[in-house]
Structure 1
Amino acid sequence: MNANSTDPMIGRLLDGRYQIRSRIARGGMATVYLATDERLQRKVAIKVMHGHLADDSKFKERFVQEARSSARLAHPNVVNVFDQGQDSDMAYLVMEYLPGITLRDLLEEHRILTTEQTLDIMEAVLAGLAAAHKAGIVHRDLKPENVLLADDGRIKIGDFGLARAASANTATGAALLGTIAYLSPELVTRGLADTRSDIYAIGIMMYEMLVGEQPFKGEQPMQIAYQHANEVVPSPSAANHLVPAELDDLVLWATSREPDDRPKDARVLLDQLYQTHSSLMTALPPTASTAVQRTMVLPSAPASEPQNSTADTQVFGAELQQVAAPAPTQVSENTTTLSTRATKRKKRGWWLVALIVLLVGGAAGAGWYFGAGPGSQVTIPDSIQNSTPAEARVILEDLGLEVSDELGEAYDAVIAVDLVANSDPAVGAIVANGSPVQLLISQGPRPLPVPNFADMTEDEARTAISEAPFTFVEPVVRQFDSEIEAGFIIDVLDADGASILGAENYGELQEVSLIVSAGSLPDVACSSVDNATQTLADLQLNVELGIEVFSDCDEGTVVSIDSEKNDEGEPRIVREGDTVTLITSRGPEPVQVPDVSDEWIAAAKAELESLDFVVTVITDIPQGFWNSSFAPVSGTDPGAGESLKRGSEVTLYGPQL
């Protein structure tokens, strides 16, 4: 079923101006629609934030940030933002409509791009990015999906949803933002981004365009992030021998692990790209097979074709060179001269034949020596990693290496136990053909001693996790505890949620999360429900009302927070964001008037006062005789068995003379 047929947005008039026509794309944050601006009668693209994110202030702020960031840029290689607004509960952006494809679509269709295609696209992308960097904006989410190739040949950067003002320490917040495959090492390890982080993403994109795949791969995002943080991006020519050395240098410069070793911004890299492009055009001979080619994206269709025709990216070769034959030279030579020259040419020819034979023989011998003989060299491939020992053995033996039957061991934070983690010599090493290689099997993460987290503050625990090193995972859970001071550690959990507090060892780089004390729950006894609710809301607790009980607190006030026990009979754990139940008061519990008939007045009065009643005695017997046979109780008001609130008045009747 067509997604447009079930989308309630199709056909809607947004904000009284933009008529939604069809859906173009859908992402994790918003959906993009094709619409008509009824006021200006032009096609536009409208990005509408997903409804479930509308109440999240952080997402709305990021959405508005995209409009502000893009609106500050007026450049032919940046998608224009025309308008931003809100209709009912929907936030939206109005952008320039660019029919065409993304760089990701182009890569999926062709996988590997030519040198010239890569240079042309990168020049356009870097020109737009240079304008952003000049305006003090870091994109932070550069990837092929955000590079648009319009049908009319224009190339533009879009999606500034993660953009921020550029500085030396632009932090990403609690979680990493952007696509993991293009994150720079400093973003992975420290969560900091500046213009050089964008340059790293550009380098990864260039590698992918030249090779047809990303330099780092893994089954889990953490594996890819670990490689970005700890490994060097290889030269594109190692995977595609057609890549010129000049582009190797550009990619390796842009993807240097240290930010200071990269170009400081897009303008610096763009200037170098221009020089590289110029030198490559000069170096290549202008023939039909090697001429430098320009990349063109054709319009959707000629005037005579239907409007919905889609253009493909096409590459046009340079024009064939017509080589004119040299005009014949009119030379007059005598027979003797011609004979002499012929003899010299004949002698020189024999020497040339002999030299060629020697060169061919030497080349054949060198080819054998370095290709199949003892002088050949083999690079141990990274494809053996994360494979079974049997699979790795086949790969290495096919390369002419001898694999030891004895398996070694190695700790690895990423590769699963019993799979190949590395080899000896190590992966990437260049060894002679026939060299022995031992496979090192993963034993899982290296066991490291667990710090004594007890009595640590949150900051101290974070530092200890980093130094171990383990991988700290947000968010911190804050739990109320009457015995542990606020800000101190209650528990430390592993990736499965089990406690490692007091454990001896834990795996290197494995995930660790913290439970930190939020202090005791507040005492809200005898407070009004409103006051107690506000007090608990300030501690990020939600409130619901529970049962009513008799108590000494005024009727309608709070008696306590319900501390019901769990299935193990332990008090229920309360954490920030939880809902607690308030027990409210029905006032003091009623007390029944006891039957004190036939008791002496003094004894009856004492019994009633012990139940908090206020006692009045009516009798003609003097008080000095109340505790004698002259003063029996004849009755009470209220009568025996009636229930009264504590503090109520009870009248005792004695003998009347």
Structure 2
Amino acid sequence: MARKIGSRYTANQILGRGSAGTVWLGEGPDGPVAIKLLREDLASDQELVGRFVQERTALLGLEHPHIVTVRDLVVDGNDLALVMDLVRGTDLRTRLERERRLAPEAAVAIVADVADALAAAHAAGVVHRDVKPENVLLDMRGPIGPGGSHPALLTDFGVAKLIDSPRRTRATKIIGTPDYLAPEIVEGLPPRAAVDIYALATVLYELLAGFTPFGGGHPGAVLRRHVTETVVPLPGIPEELWQLLVQCLAKAPASRLRASELAARLREQLPTLAGMPPLDVDEPDPSEDTAEESVPSAPQGEPVRRRGAVSLVPGAKPDSNRDTHTSMRVPGPDELAGGAHGTARVPRPAGAPRPGSARHRAAVRRRRVTLSVAGVVVAAVVAAGAWLASSGGDDDQPGPATHSTSAP
């Protein structure tokens, strides 16, 4: 059912729902638009409304070919909405779910586009704070790029900052999507431009591998891994591209590249990636994620859904519990260190199967068979030795003299 948004816009059809609100296909004075209508409880927060108005100039000033342009911010009664360009296409999460993983050339081309968008935003003093596949839109009407990729546009600028008001989160909460949160945010430091670089490198890893480097299980476990674990190498990835990934996933923010540098370095890699198929990476076992940590919020026996999308395009899927604005407690030092039980995962060597996966179980079975055979052989050798010793003892001479050697 259509509804008016302010005096200039009409919301006609719901495209998707997320943790911060609902995305509508709408109509404005200049044609079709996407309208992100924030939740009513957020719209009734006067402090948030004030921040919304303060951010108006910065958000309306963000213009770049790889940024979804914010056309207007509407404050009208109980309505708080961002009016944006409508992108005809799909989001990166939907493509990733369909293809599982992307060919390196396409993945790098998409991430380079997003890095260009971040470079423009950072130059304007705006930090996105929630870079993830759901917030990357693929313009299907744009020109085909390297690896058959469509132009990528970054959306949802400013939403995380608007939601993250001091009164709402206080000093013990963090706002963000667990899989893509930089370590410094987990440790309670203020978000700078480097957090977007870390999140974008996590997205690139996910596009190549089919899963995030530190995801899986309870959000608290995911946060801890960002601080304590080393990223596991991907088999078959070119060394220069891998070193680029490692640098941008560095725990220290100062060690990461700037967005403009990352975009340039990624585009330099494209010629060497042409024609390379998707990586052959061992898939995580679904039972590994849920076995590691219990999820109190999940109903008994119900699988934990971790993928979802809130798109500004037709055909979007409902959001999942991989929320844009999940409010989480900041872990204490002991928890970040793994706690008394050392629950942080141990990084695997390159090419080694993930614990719990089918390949891992097969390897364990092979080792058990090998050890069993070895045990039989050892037992046979021991038995033969014992028989020889007893045969030698049948002589009339005492046993020890039989096997002694006289000195000259």
Q: With the length of structure 1 as denominator, give the TM-score of the two structures.
A: 0.41
Query: 1:180 is matched with which residue?
Result: 178
CA offsets, 1:272-292, max 9 Å, x none? 1122224x16xx6xxxx6699
Amino acid at match of 2:10: Q
Query: 1:26 is matched with which residue?
Result: 17
Amino acid at match of 1:398: R
SS class of match (1:236): coil
Distance 1:187 1:309 in 2: 33
SS class of match (1:400): helix
Asked if structure 1 preserves the Cα contact closer than 8 Å seen for 2:113 and 2:263, the reply is no
Structure 1 residues 187 and 198, CA gap change in structure 2 (3 angstroms): same
Query: 2:269 is matched with which residue?
Result: 276
Aligned runs of 1:400-419 on 2, under 5 Å? 400=367
Runs (4+) of structure 1 exceeding 3 A deviation are 57-69, 171-174, 289-292, 377-382, 391-396, 401-405
Report how far residue 94 of structure 1 moved.
1.3
2:225 paired with 1:227: yes
Report how far residue 90 of structure 1 moved.
1.0
Query: 1:259 is matched with which residue?
Result: 253
Amino acid at match of 1:107: L
SS class of match (1:218): coil
Report how far residue 63 of structure 1 moved.
4.5
Amino acid at match of 1:111: R
CA offsets, 1:220-245, max 9 Å, x none? 100000101100112232xxx3x322
2:156 paired with 1:159: yes
CA offsets, 1:393-422, max 9 Å, x none? 9455235368999xxxxxxxxxxxxxxxxx
Amino acid at match of 1:94: V
Whose Rg is larger? 1
Report how far residue 216 of structure 1 moved.
1.6
Aligned runs of 1:413-452 on 2, under 5 Å? none
Distance 2:360 2:96 in 1: 33
CA offsets, 1:417-436, max 9 Å, x none? xxxxxxxxxxxxxxxxx9xx
SS class of match (1:137): coil
Q: Which has the higher relative contact order, 1 or 2, with Cα contacts under 8 A spaced 6 or more apart? A: 2
Report how far residue 196 of structure 1 moved.
1.2
Distance 2:26 2:350 in 1: 57
Q: How many residues in Structure 1 have an aligned counterpart in Structure 2?
A: 291
Query: 1:84 is matched with which residue?
Result: 73
Asked if structure 1 preserves the Cα contact closer than 8 Å seen for 2:10 and 2:27, the reply is yes
SS class of match (1:124): helix
Query: 2:305 is matched with which residue?
Result: none
Structure 1 residues 141 and 92, CA gap change in structure 2 (3 angstroms): same
CA offsets, 1:455-498, max 9 Å, x none? xxxxxxxxxxxxxxxxxxxxxxxxxxxxxxxxxxxxxxxxxxxx
Asked if structure 1 preserves the Cα contact closer than 8 Å seen for 2:5 and 2:74, the reply is no
Distance 2:137 2:54 in 1: 20
Structure 1 residues 214 and 88, CA gap change in structure 2 (3 angstroms): same
Identical-residue share of aligned pairs (%): 32
Structure 2 gap ranges (5+): 143-150, 163-168, 279-312, 316-348, 375-408
Which has the larger share of helix? 2
Distance 1:124 1:190 in 2: 29
Report how far residue 54 of structure 1 moved.
2.0
Structure 1 residues 251 and 64, CA gap change in structure 2 (3 angstroms): farther
Determine which of 95, 110, 120 is the counterpart of 2:109.
120
SS class of match (1:216): coil
Structure 1 residues 146 and 309, CA gap change in structure 2 (3 angstroms): closer
Q: With the length of structure 2 as denominator, give the TM-score of the two structures.
A: 0.64
Query: 1:215 is matched with which residue?
Result: 213
Query: 2:194 is matched with which residue?
Result: 196
SS class of match (1:141): coil
Determine which of 250, 272, 277 is the counterpart of 2:244.
250
Structure 1 gap ranges (5+): 1-9, 165-170, 293-307, 311-376, 406-433, 435-657
Structure 1 residues 380 and 32, CA gap change in structure 2 (3 angstroms): closer
